[in-house]
């Protein structure tokens, strides 16, 4: 039965981990705005694509010149 | 021709979704309603940001005037800018701007991609709930003023007021509550787990070292809850007792402390398992109730003073040079420059230029006042027309308007809390509980001494008014949330209670029962031809005068033509040649010497062609639709009052709408309004004031409940207890009846929680309260109260909604103006 002590210890550790996780999330302001993250995840990183395109164009031009 | 019109009607501005009218501005084969909108589109197009238009259709914001040239000049001022920064080190700056225009996912996308428009922006993050943008930028590449102008150029105008500068929000309070809930929840869960063996049959076979271990674990887990999570209740109770009154926190703290002492004693003496699970559960549920009650509309600002109306800074003339100066620093004798549409910050004397001051903000009177050099001008007026120079007479803080606010500064909100229903009940409640506890203690002292102390503490434990304390937050908090969905936003749940007790309703006229921007225009005289209308429209297009723009807006479907030889005489009228005819518009004196202005007090604009007077336009106020029904409904229950800054030109119309018993007062200055409210309060009446502008601010604040009415709830609204969407004005009766019913629900749930207390007391008085009874009773009572209150309040709002649908259908032709703009609030 003394395994119970170990089990309770472990369960407290796990639960404590979640508590710390929660407190950290509150501190970082994850509960401040519950709407925009849901939208933000759907945005594509278009600006990067544009940059890549430019890079491609530039290299193409260089190749053309040489 | 018909076809053309159809086509024109179908064209909707790609940017803002407005009707483009007959002549849309075309760019890139896309129609725009105005140049402003197309400029934003071009800007976004150049920067390949057009996916802005992919997320939502027509996400843009329309702005009437596209000029922000000097509006943000004050941000150059180091002192002001420093107050705005959240963080500043080296050339990296961080600041948060309030942008009320944020409304959809496209907004988030565009504002978070600001660095494409200006590479000086390093990072931008939108907080949608608060309608804020946090910007991190490089101060070497872009200044704070340029940032504000950049945001304005894409029509996301940030609202920077001194008000905001002064108080950095207390958002930490909310976080602290979440910490407390987290810790209480963690401890509650674990203590429940550790206490469970005690409750199952066969627990008596549990080995003692386990019992000791569980007991000690419980004791250590309860400490953070007792000392940290629950300390607010004890502090509040201590303060209350110190000020010699009893609030709900007193019996709660009494229960908490008794629970803690009793349980600790049992654990350390090995006599029992204690009530630690009940204690943590109690605090956990109470905190959740508190959190529910505290959730307010973060994006709305209810606390405003004069600072939010006045500009942050104005141009001061120093040795012929314009210097942007914070208005707080203006002194008597300073010379300031006020441009078109700018607000006058302090009482002053006009020294240069012709002033045409619109005092509608202050007095409610919509007719602008003309002033000449040497005249006195009061703070709060708005200059229309060319720039003027003023010499300041009084400091901003001392001017007539700001004095209205300052006299409230000393008043404390603490006093109002005393009257709340729950505190009145808890006063008697506490006394009764202590009496019962003492009686049962004394009884057992004579019959079975061993049970005396236990019976005494049990009564205190079981009577701890957890369910009682939860019923009001959940019922009122839920009502508040539901009302927000219906279009009225309350400052806090205590407002529900206050609204319930009102006896009198005071209306402001301009902007409240009439629509500020809608003017009813009719023409009296000869019948006008299409040509006449074209002429009037063409002529009014050139004038910035408020009457001209009203008439211009009124003649919607007419396209203006060229005007030659245009003249504008201040305070007289305008004239010009349209299609070879000489057109004059203006006051009677201006048009012809022969006619005199008619005796009615409405605003009249005369019209003549080639010297022949054709008649005059009459401009009068447009009442909100559904007003007379609303007044009819209200007049049976409340006494009604109307205060207006206008003259009594509208007396006849108002008397038709309002019953004879109501009080109508004209020519009321802001101070008169305030006095009137105070007078009513002295007569023992509970006053609800509904107003919209700066001129009502004092009255709104001094009334028991001040509701400010707003077309756009995120913009300008004076300090108040609630903000009402103007399109929902006609539903005021409904809001009042919802509050009435929710107070009933609170009372019912009080009864319910007393019932639970009786059950608990039944065990406690006999001295047989076992931990399991307490552990069951507490959550059952709390959960059932929460369920009862939320379900019933939802039902009330729903019932009303369906009822409303029916009436809505009836009045559909009246309500066509109701805007369908949905607002997302948390």
Contact B48 A50 (CB under 8 A): yes
**Cα separation, B659 vs B425, whole angstroms:** 38
Distance from CA of A41 to the nearest CA of B (A): 10
Distance from CA of B102 to the nearest CA of A (A): 11
- Contact between residue B645 and residue B667 where contact means Cβ atoms under 8 Å apart: yes
DSSP state of B379: T
Length of chain A, please?
66
Best probe of the B interface among A39, A47, A49, by most B CBs < 10 A, is A39
Structural domain boundaries of chain B? Answer: 2-55, 73-166, 172-242+250-294, 310-406, 483-515+625-740, 516-623
- Contact between residue B33 and residue B19 where contact means Cβ atoms under 8 Å apart: yes
**Cα separation, B183 vs B190, whole angstroms:** 11
- Which chain B residues have a beta carbon less than 8 Å from that of A46? 48, 51
Contact A50 B824 (CB under 8 A): no
Distance from CA of A31 to the nearest CA of B (A): 9
Nearest CA in chain A to B178: A26
Check residue B826 and give its pLDDT. 34
**Cα separation, B478 vs B793, whole angstroms:** 7
Distance from CA of A55 to the nearest CA of B (A): 16
Please indicate if any CB of chain B lies within 8 Å of the CB of A24.
no
Nearest neighbour of B213 by CB, restricted to A5, A22, A39:
A5
Q: Does domain B310-406 have CATH number 2.70.150.10?
A: yes
Residues A11-61 pLDDT 10s:
999 999 999 999 999 988 888 777 888 888 877 765 555 555 556 556 655
Given this structure, which CATH class describes domain B516-623? alpha beta
Check residue B4 and give its pLDDT. 43
**Cα separation, B365 vs B536, whole angstroms:** 25
Contact B826 A22 (CB under 8 A): no
- The number of beta carbons lying within 10 Å of the beta carbon of residue B634 is 20
pTM for the whole structure:
0.75
Contact A39 B109 (CB under 8 A): yes
Nearest neighbour of B128 by CB, restricted to A19, A33, A50:
A33
Nearest CA in chain A to B105: A39
**Cα separation, B403 vs B571, whole angstroms:** 31
B464, B476, B617: which is closest to B552 by C-alpha?
B617
Best probe of the B interface among A26, A42, A51, by most B CBs < 10 A, is A26
Check residue B813 and give its pLDDT. 39
* Through-space distance between the first and last CA atoms of chain A, rounded to whole angstroms: 80
**Could you identify the residue written with the tokens 């040509």?**
B531
Distance from CA of A33 to the nearest CA of B (A): 6
Nearest neighbour of B186 by CB, restricted to A19, A35, A39:
A19
Check residue B396 and give its pLDDT. 74
Nearest CA in chain B to A26: B175
Question: For the domain bounded by B483-515+625-740, which CATH number is listed?
Answer: 3.40.50.1000
Distance from CA of A52 to the nearest CA of B (A): 14
Please indicate if any CB of chain B lies within 8 Å of the CB of A39.
yes
Contact A35 B182 (CB under 8 A): no
How many Cβ contacts (< 8 angstroms) between chains A and B?
Answer: 63
The three-state secondary structure class of B770 is coil
Which residues of B touch chain A, with CB atoms under 8 Å apart? 48, 51, 55, 105, 108-109, 112-113, 115-116, 126-130, 171, 175, 178-179, 182-183, 186, 189-190, 193-194, 207, 210, 213, 217, 824, 826
Check residue A60 and give its pLDDT. 58
**Cα separation, B644 vs B692, whole angstroms:** 12
Nearest CA in chain A to B102: A36
Tokens representing B366 are 């919509």
- Which chain B residues have a beta carbon less than 8 Å from that of A35? 128-129, 824, 826
Distance from CA of A64 to the nearest CA of B (A): 26
Contact B179 A23 (CB under 8 A): yes
Check residue B5 and give its pLDDT. 42
Tokens representing B416 are 């109002």
**Cα separation, A22 vs B193, whole angstroms:** 20
Check residue B210 and give its pLDDT. 82
Check residue A18 and give its pLDDT. 95
- The runs of H, that is alpha helices, within B246-386 are 249-269, 276-294, 306-309, 360-363
Residues of chain B with pLDDT under 50: 1-9, 66, 409-418, 808-826
Please indicate if any CB of chain B lies within 8 Å of the CB of A32.
yes
Q: Does domain B73-166 have CATH number 3.30.70.100?
A: yes
Please indicate if any CB of chain B lies within 8 Å of the CB of A13.
no
Could you give phi then psi for residue B150, rounded to 5 degrees?
Answer: -65, -45
**Cα separation, B702 vs B778, whole angstroms:** 41
* Through-space distance between the first and last CA atoms of chain B, rounded to whole angstroms: 49
Contact B129 A15 (CB under 8 A): no
**HEC secondary structure over chain A:** CCHHHHHHHHHHHHHHHHHHHHHHHHHCCCCCCCCHHHHHCCCCCHHHHHHHHHHHHHHHHHHHHC
Contact B182 A31 (CB under 8 A): no
**Cα separation, B160 vs B99, whole angstroms:** 9
B231, B217, B230, B219: which is closest to B185 by C-alpha?
B230
* ipTM score for this prediction: 0.75
């Amino acid at each position: 039965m003394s395994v119970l002590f170990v089990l309770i210890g472990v369960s407290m550790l796990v639960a404590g981990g979640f508590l710390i996780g929660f407190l950290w999330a509150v501190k970082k302001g994850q509960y401040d705005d519950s709407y925009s993250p849901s939208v933000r995840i759907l945005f594509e990183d278009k600006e990067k694509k544009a940059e890549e395109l430019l890079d491609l164009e530039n290299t193409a031009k260089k190749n053309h010149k040489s | 021709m018909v076809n053309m019109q159809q086509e024109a009607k179908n064209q909707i501005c790609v940017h803002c979704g407005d009707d483009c009218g007959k002549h849309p501005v075309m760019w890139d084969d896309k129609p725009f309603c105005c140049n402003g909108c197309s400029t934003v589109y071009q800007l976004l197009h150049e920067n390949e940001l057009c996916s802005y238009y992919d997320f939502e259709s027509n996400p843009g914001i329309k702005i009437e005037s596209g000029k922000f040239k000097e509006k943000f000049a004050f941000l150059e001022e180091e002192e002001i800018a420093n107050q705005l920064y959240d963080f500043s080190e080296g050339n990296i700056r961080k600041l948060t701007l309030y942008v009320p225009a944020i409304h959809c996912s496209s907004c988030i996308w565009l504002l978070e991609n600001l660095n494409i428009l200006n590479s000086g922006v390093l990072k931008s993050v939108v907080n949608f709930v608060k309608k804020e943008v946090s910007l991190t930028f490089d101060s070497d590449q872009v200044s704070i003023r340029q940032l504000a102008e950049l945001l304005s150029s894409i029509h996301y105008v940030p609202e920077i007021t001194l008000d905001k500068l002064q108080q950095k929000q207390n958002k930490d309070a909310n976080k602290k509550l979440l910490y407390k809930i987290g810790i209480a929840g963690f401890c509650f869960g674990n203590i429940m787990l550790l206490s469970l063996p005690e409750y199952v049959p066969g627990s008596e076979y549990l080995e003692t070292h386990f019992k000791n271990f569980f007991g000690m674990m419980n004791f250590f887990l309860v400490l953070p809850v007792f000392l940290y999570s629950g300390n607010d209740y004890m502090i509040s109770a201590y303060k209350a007792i110190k000020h010699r009154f009893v609030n709900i926190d007193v019996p709660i703290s009494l229960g908490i402390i008794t629970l803690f002492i009793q349980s600790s004693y049992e654990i350390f003496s090995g006599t029992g398992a204690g009530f630690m699970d009940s204690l943590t559960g109690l605090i956990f549920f109470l905190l959740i109730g508190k959190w529910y009650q505290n959730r307010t509309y973060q994006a709305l600002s209810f606390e405003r003073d004069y600072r939010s109306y006045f500009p942050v800074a104005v141009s001061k003339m120093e040795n012929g040079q314009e210097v942007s100066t914070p208005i707080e620093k203006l002194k008597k004798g300073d010379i300031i420059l006020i441009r078109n549409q700018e607000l006058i910050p302090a009482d002053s004397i006009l020294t240069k230029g012709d002033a045409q001051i619109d005092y509608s903000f202050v007095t409610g009177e919509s007719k602008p006042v003309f002033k000449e050099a040497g005249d006195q001008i009061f703070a709060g007026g708005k200059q229309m027309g060319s720039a003027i120079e003023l010499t300041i007479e009084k400091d901003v803080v001392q001017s007539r308007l700001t004095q209205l606010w300052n006299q409230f500064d000393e008043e404390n909100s603490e006093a109002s809390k005393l009257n709340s229903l729950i505190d009145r009940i808890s006063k008697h409640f506490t006394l009764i509980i202590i009496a019962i506890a003492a009686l049962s203690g004394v009884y057992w002292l004579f019959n079975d001494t061993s049970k005396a102390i236990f019976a005494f503490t049990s009564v205190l434990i079981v009577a701890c008014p957890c369910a009682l304390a939860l019923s009001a937050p959940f019922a009122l908090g839920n009502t508040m949330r539901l009302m927000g969905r219906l279009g009225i936003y309350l400052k806090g749940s205590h407002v529900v209670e206050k609204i319930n007790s009102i006896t009198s309703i005071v209306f402001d006229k301009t902007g409240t029962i009439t629509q500020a921007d809608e003017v009813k225009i009719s023409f009296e005289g000869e019948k006008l031809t299409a040509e006449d209308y074209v002429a009037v429209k063409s002529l009014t297009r050139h004038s910035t005068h408020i009457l001209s723009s009203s008439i211009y807006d009124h003649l919607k479907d007419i396209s203006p033509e060229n005007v030659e030889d245009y003249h504008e005489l201040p305070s007289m009228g305008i004239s010009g040649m349209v299609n070879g005819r000489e057109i004059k518009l203006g006051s009677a004196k201006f048009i012809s010497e022969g006619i005199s202005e008619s005796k009615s007090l409405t605003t009249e604009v005369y019209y003549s062609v080639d010297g022949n007077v054709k008649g005059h336009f009459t401009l009068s106020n447009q009442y909100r639709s559904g007003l007379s029904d609303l007044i009819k409904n209200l007049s049976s229950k409340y006494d009604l009052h109307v205060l207006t800054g206008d003259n009594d030109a509208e007396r006849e119309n108002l008397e038709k709408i309002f019953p004879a018993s109501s009080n109508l007062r004209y020519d009321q200055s802001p101070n008169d309004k305030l006095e009137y409210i105070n007078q009513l309060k002295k007569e023992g009446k509970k006053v609800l004031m509904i107003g919209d502008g700066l001129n009502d601010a004092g009255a709104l604040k001094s009334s028991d409940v001040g509701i400010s009415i707003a077309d756009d709830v995120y913009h300008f609204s004076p300090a108040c207890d609630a903000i009402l969407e103007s399109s929902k004005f006609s539903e005021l009766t409904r809001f009042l009846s919802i509050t009435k019913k929710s107070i009933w629900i609170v009372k019912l749930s009080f009864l319910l929680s007393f019932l639970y207390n009786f059950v608990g007391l039944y065990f406690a008085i006999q001295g047989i309260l076992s931990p399991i009874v307490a552990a069951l009773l507490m959550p059952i009572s709390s959960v059932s109260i929460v369920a009862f209150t939320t379900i019933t309040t939802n039902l009330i709002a729903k019932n009303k909604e369906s009822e409303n649908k029916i009436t809505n259908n009836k009045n559909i032709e009246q309500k066509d103006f109701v805007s369908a703009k949905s607002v997302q609030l948390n």
